[in-house]
Structure 1
């Protein structure tokens, strides 16, 4: 189970001061220190991660599945990502599963028509980069894309964001995906998935919850996604949803 940094620091208290001071050999950001055994060992926080997993409650229901269909350079998407999606995922990642679907759409043709993504189109090019990032990095994809989209130049920031959140993956791997046949395939496959939605997207970003779209949930997602995810989760609400403070025994010298 991956825990947000805020919860890591809250649970650790003073006894885990080492967590806030990573050793130089650690190449990963704090949000990923407990993601795998290899990373925990490299960042020298294995003991702390084991303690966190011991006190963290096990998942008692399936996470809320949120799929976001978007175009990379759309201002509304970038605002939603920075103001709603990424902060909510940071706080609720244990009960929230996010699926990003970047694709290129044309307003000049019927929705059922096939419109191939062309690399020379700026937005299509960025969509390909982000589709490849999602494909190659999995769980780190949202962090990387949030990093990219918060930059003035999305493309120029891509390499640095990849190095920050997925240091084990080379930029050459992403370039190979984008410049080869895989990039266009991923974007066009996403476009086909968008055209298959019912109802069909009439604006972007288009947000579905557990595979279902409603106007009410779309409107709430754009203004209060955190509250909506907490309400949709069918298991025992985590403390961050209920506002219940977490008290742990701490030792002091």
Structure 2
């Protein structure tokens, strides 16, 4: 189940049934909330089949293409960090059924001929390392988990020092040694080279970061709107039937109290 569906189930079940923060027994099942709507059998075991059916019924038509948002950024750029934590991640959390996010950590970096230091970055060597760590995380983990990890890093006081704990929190099955090996080995370099090629291929060429494209195209107007209200922009750009989050339509479940 996608995160938006999970959030709808978790929030609505807890608020409508029990009152947020009030007493509510945990479902008698062995699955975490993120798996409740994965299958009908799990939903029945966790006693949330009706809620899962209602949430699934409100999902957009998957035949309509979602809004593709690509962010070209740098790991230590203050404006990039603010956009990721205050606009991109919260919007994706609510609208991931109608949007796809691609993260390209590179930004204003440049390739060097030196074997010891193949890249130079706007905010110094720590940023180059941060870019490569995030590129490796994107490669080694499933996309939604990678986005959670990168959000966790970018929202932390120290991006680099938070990397291991954020990885352990959201992808405990991926040992840090794999990320470290990627960063120090040829794989990390190849991933950064690919990001460099993607960034250099931008048309028009990027002049700053964060640089945001929608469905592969850049306009200053859309970027300005994204910086102030990405949520509203994605809802407007989506061509299908708007999901309840966009329209403000209520999704009501059975109301009871404890």
Smaller-chain TM-score bracket: 0.7 to 0.9
Higher RCO, Cα 8 Å, sep 6+: 2
The answer to whether the 8 A contact 1:69-1:102 is kept is yes
Matched, 1:172 2:172: no
- Cα distance in 2, alignment partners of residues 45 and 200 from structure 1: 52
How many Å separate the matches in 1 of 2:37 and 2:171? 12
Equivalent residue number for residue 146 of structure 2: 141
Task: Give, in angstroms, the shift of residue 156 of structure 1.
Answer: 1.0
Q: Secondary structure at the match of 1:207?
A: strand
1:54 corresponds to? 53
Q: Cα distance 1:124–1:236, how it changes in 2: closer, same or farther (>3 A)?
A: same
Once the two structures are superposed, residues 53-81 of structure 1 have per-residue CA deviations (whole angstroms, 9 ceiling, x without a partner) of 42213431222110000011001101111
Alignment length (residue pairs):
239
Once the two structures are superposed, the pairs formed by residues 100-115 of structure 1 within 5 Å of their partners are 100-103=103-106, 105-106=108-109
Runs of 4 or more, structure 1, over 6 Å off, are none
Q: 1:17 offset after TM fit, Å?
A: 4.5
Conserved? CA contact 1:117–1:188, under 8 Å? no
Aligned to 2:132: 128
Match of 2:2 in 1: 2
- Indicate which of 228, 238, 243 corresponds to 1:238: 243
Q: CA RMSD in A?
A: 3.2
Q: Is the 8 A contact 1:78 1:149 kept in 2?
A: yes
Structure 2 gaps, min length 5: none
1:94 aligns with 97
Match 1:188 to one of 189, 193, 197: 193
Task: Assess if the C-alpha contact under 8 Å between 1:143 and 1:165 holds in 2.
Answer: yes
**Does the C-alpha gap of structure 1 residues 104 and 88 become closer, same or farther in structure 2, counting only changes over 3 Å?**
closer
Distance change >3 Å, CA 165–CA 249, structure 1 → 2: same
1:215 maps to what in 2? Answer: 220
Compute the displacement of 1:108 (Å). Answer: 11
Which residue of structure 2 aligns with residue 112 of structure 1?
Answer: none
Give the 3-state SS of the residue equivalent to 1:203 in structure 2. coil
The answer on whether the counterparts of 1:103 and 1:188 sit within 8 Å (CA) in structure 2 is no
Whether contact under 8 Å (2:69, 2:214) holds in the other structure is: yes
